[in-house]
Chain A
Amino acid sequence: MKSMRMAVLTAMAFSAAVGFGPAPASGADRLSVVTTTTDLKFIAESVGGDHVKVVSIASGNEDPHFVSAKPSFMMTAREADLWISIGMELEIGWEGLILEGSRNPKIRKDSKGYLDASQGVLRLEVPTEKVTRTMGDVHPLGNPHYWLDPLNVRIVAKTIAGRLAELDPGHAEDFTRNLKAFQRTLDDHMFGKELVDAVGGDKLWLRELKGGLQGFLDEQHVTAKLGGWAGRMLPFRGEKILTYHRSWIYFTNRFGLVVADEMEPKPGIPPSPGHVLDLIQKVKADHVRVLLMEPFYERKAPDLIAEKTGLKVLVCANSVGGDEAAKDYFAMIGNVVDKLAAALKPATEAERE
């Protein structure tokens, strides 16, 4: 009976607290948006403008695969109107726990308040055979690091703007206007303002997507106007580089670089001594000059390869806020482009001589 008394008392306490406890605060004026990564946060803020309040779960300087599902994140998600994830199972280890723990029906996976940002992007490395763990941490839906391709970010911005307009139709025109401005800024960074003024961002991306941008620019006699990231990376097309994790493929694909190999023998598997020795041979044989890696990976093995081969190790954030240079998405990509161009340029000039 004592248990029963305690149960009744607890039930009464629950009822009282539920009935009279302070109601959760809600942002009546602005949509509360929670994104899984800082890159999505930047895009959502750019498109949503003053009508959204955005919080990111992962910080830019941590590996987004291994974020801890802290209870405080559940509190963050509890009041969200919209949850935006990278998708393609990048957050498979922690997203479900936070969503369930938040007890927020608005952001359940089958609701309007849940947005998988990968739904419109161009995917790479989608496996065509059965995925097993012998392959390492291969994602069955394709490589999820798609935000490192500026074209995909352009697409994601449009996807987010569409969802924001659905949730807040009264500000749909603002979201559309913000989207245009964001895409224009992105295009300016990608191709250079002068070229975008002359040709238009949509046309440039269309030609880029069809693979005929260079020919199109020559035909239009505007090649000299090509600037931005594309202009800076143009001399290095075909250059082989190493990466630590298989996370830069979207970037290298867009800018014409070739990933000769990765530090990880398989995705998610730390480099073994044998693999490091193999890489040293490969770097020498293929004249690889640069290793690109994120700040959250250990430098011991990359530095050893650098010492043995003369290769340059470039540590660059692959998410907004990942290092001091990556203040926003444009600065983050710009930083990678700058570092690569600086590291590759001297040898290119020497070769020309």
Chain B
Amino acid sequence: MKRFLIGAVLAGVCCWTPARALADSAANATSDDVAAIKAEMAEMKRMMEEQKKSYQKEIAELKQKVETLSARSAPSPADELAAEIEKAKGEVPQTQPGPLSMFFNKSAGQSSVPDISVLGDVLGHYVADHHNAANPAQQEDGKRHFQFREMEVAFSAPVDPNSKADLILTGGEDADGQWNMDLEEGYLTLTTLPCDLQARFGKFRTVFGKNNPFHTHAMAWVDRPDVIANYFGSDGMAETGAEVSWLVPNPWKKYIEWTADFQNNGNPESFAGDRQDDVMFTNHVKYFDNLTPASTAELGGSVATGANGDGSGGRTTLEGADFTFKWKPPAEGLYKTLTWQSEAILSQKDQPCGGTVDSWGAYSSLEYRFARQWRAFARWDYSEFPDDAHSKQLGGAVGLTYDMSEFCYWRFEYKHTSAQGPLAGQDRDELWLQLNFGIGPHQAHKY
């Protein structure tokens, strides 16, 4: 018990002493400490304010950066416009090619399929040969008939990046109504030769003069001029061989083309025909110039030579000159054009019995377009014959063409031919009605 009391007293003393000290101390330090605490709190508050400002500044800067980055990633009006244009382009309907468009529509995109076109040429022909009484077997007086003169099937396509091929098959009725097919032309053109050269290999129309290189349907008349028919044949001259042509550079930058053909001498009128055993060689130079913005002139000169197959080494040499004037005022070109085309051929043909026949022929033609769908022409013809310079034909033709469209025309032609020399009296009057039409992308012909 005694121990308990002593412990309690001691504990009381121990607890009483610090409490008392603290109370005394607080009473003594109150005013200073409060001031210090207040100062500390003020300092803390200031620091917090500063931090707040700093954070706010940083947030503002970050916001600015975010906005800038957002603005950078947004499309510009130009980009938006480009995207909208692409979108609008995608909404344009695409062409739906028809089942045959791969053959008749260049746009169908079948690059491996050649362009194929077909041309038809139908004639109604009336001949009044009423002066051929001396030879009744050949008399054609009153002869009249229809003839599918020509059906041309043309294939054309690049073969590779350096060449293109053209194949033109021609069929037609002969005088007996029999149908014959032939390869009119078939050649490969090398298009990427250096030094402005081009070359052709195969069968092609000989580049001699102005008319011969043109196909029948591209002429201004129903028939070929007499001089072409007598010296090259009624369809002109086309043989197998090789050709090189060159655009001749010149300081005036004028169009001068030089063409050299090296072909079989199989032409029956002037060369060897069926007895073909050699080659003929042709040179042609063409000069072209603009006279005014509406008119042009073209001059050509040609020479051809080759064995004529008479068995005695005889040769034929042909010289030709051609001139073409064209007038087409740009603003009225759909309705008014004028073409004046003239050509002359001189021939020296060795004869089997010795000697040489010097002969010649020429034509001059005027064609005038007086309305969008109408053209009229007149042509003067004079021709001798490669083997007979004494027989002469003098003719004149007039005609009218109605262009139903770009791809179809009707043509009427009247022609009178008077014969002189040994053929005297064999005058002919002829009437033709021609229908020419084409389907497919047949290319335009050269100027």
Contact = CB atoms under 8 A, between A and B. Distances in A.
Main secondary structure, interface of A, reads loop
A314 B237 CA distance: 52
Given A3-B279, A132-B98, A21 B247 contact: no
A203 interface: yes
Interface string B82-100: 0011001100111111110
A94 interface: yes
A174 B157 CA distance: 40
A352 interface: no
A123 B289 contact: no
24 contacts: A3-B305, A6-B283, A22-B251, A68-B326, A71-B257, A71-B286, A72-B255, A72-B288, A72-B290, A72-B296, A97-B446, A103-B198, A122-B85, A126-B92, A126-B94, A128-B93, A129-B96, A129-B98, A132-B98, A140-B107, A202-B80, A209-B81, A268-B406, A296-B333
B106 A59 contact: no
Contacts of B406: 137, 268
Interface string B404-426: 01110000000000000000000
B196 A75 contact: no
Interface in A155-189: 155
A269 B403 CA distance: 11
B95 A127 contact: yes
B255 A200 contact: no
B382 interface: no
A307 to B, nearest CB: 21
Contacts of A338: none
Interface stretch (A10-18, A219-227, A232-240, A251-259): A10-18
Contact of B254 (A75, A100, A101): A75
Contact of A297 (B81, B88, B334, B443): B334
Given A10-B281, A130-B101, A268-B405, A100 B191 contact: yes
B192 A105 contact: yes
Interface residues of B, number: 80
A69 B77 contact: no
B444 interface: yes
A62 B333 CA distance: 7
Interface of A: 2-4, 6-7, 10-11, 14, 17-18, 21-25, 59, 61-63, 66, 68-72, 74-75, 78, 89, 92-94, 96-97, 100-101, 103, 105, 108, 110, 120, 122-124, 126-133, 137, 140-142, 155, 200, 202-203, 205-206, 209-210, 268-270, 295-298
A205 B81 contact: yes
Interface in B350-366: none
A27 B287 CA distance: 25
B446 A78 contact: no
Nearest to A68: B447
Contacts of B248: 17, 21
Given A2-B315, A18-B197, A92-B106, A63 B333 contact: yes
Nearest to B281: A3
A315 B307 CA distance: 62
A59 B198 contact: no
Contacts of B196: 24, 78, 103
Contact of B373 (A78, A97, A200, A270): A270
B293 interface: yes
Given A3-B280, A126-B93, A141-B95, A70 B296 contact: yes
Interface in B249-269: 249-251, 253-255, 257-258, 260, 262, 265
A125 B119 CA distance: 29
A295 B289 CA distance: 27
Interface in B169-206: 191-193, 195-198
A13 B198 CA distance: 16
B332 interface: yes
Contact of B96 (A68, A103, A128): A128
The winner among A100, A126, A140 for most chain B CB atoms within 10 A is A140
Interface in B211-269: 244, 246-251, 253-255, 257-258, 260, 262, 265
B278 interface: yes
Contacts of B99: 130
A321 to B, nearest CB: 10
Contact of A130 (B76, B96, B254, B444): B96
B328 interface: yes
Given A93-B444, A296-B333, A298-B372, A3 B84 contact: no
A120 B82 CA distance: 10
A127 B97 CA distance: 9
Contacts of A140: 95, 97, 101, 105, 107-108
B444 A3 contact: no
A66 B334 contact: yes
A48 B372 CA distance: 39
Given A3-B305, A122-B88, A296 B444 contact: no
A206 B444 contact: no
A96 B372 CA distance: 24
Nearest to A5: B281
A6 B282 CA distance: 9
A110 B161 CA distance: 9
Contacts of B280: 3
A198 B262 CA distance: 72
A72 B315 CA distance: 37
B98 A130 contact: yes
A133 B407 contact: yes
A129 B97 CA distance: 7
B69 interface: no
Contacts of A298: 334-335, 372
A269 B265 CA distance: 46
B273 interface: no
A206 B77 CA distance: 8
Contacts of B191: 100, 103
Given A68-B447, A142-B92, A296 B279 contact: no
Contacts of A59: 293, 330
B9 interface: no
Contacts of B286: 71
Given A126-B94, A296-B334, A18 B255 contact: no
Contacts of B195: 18
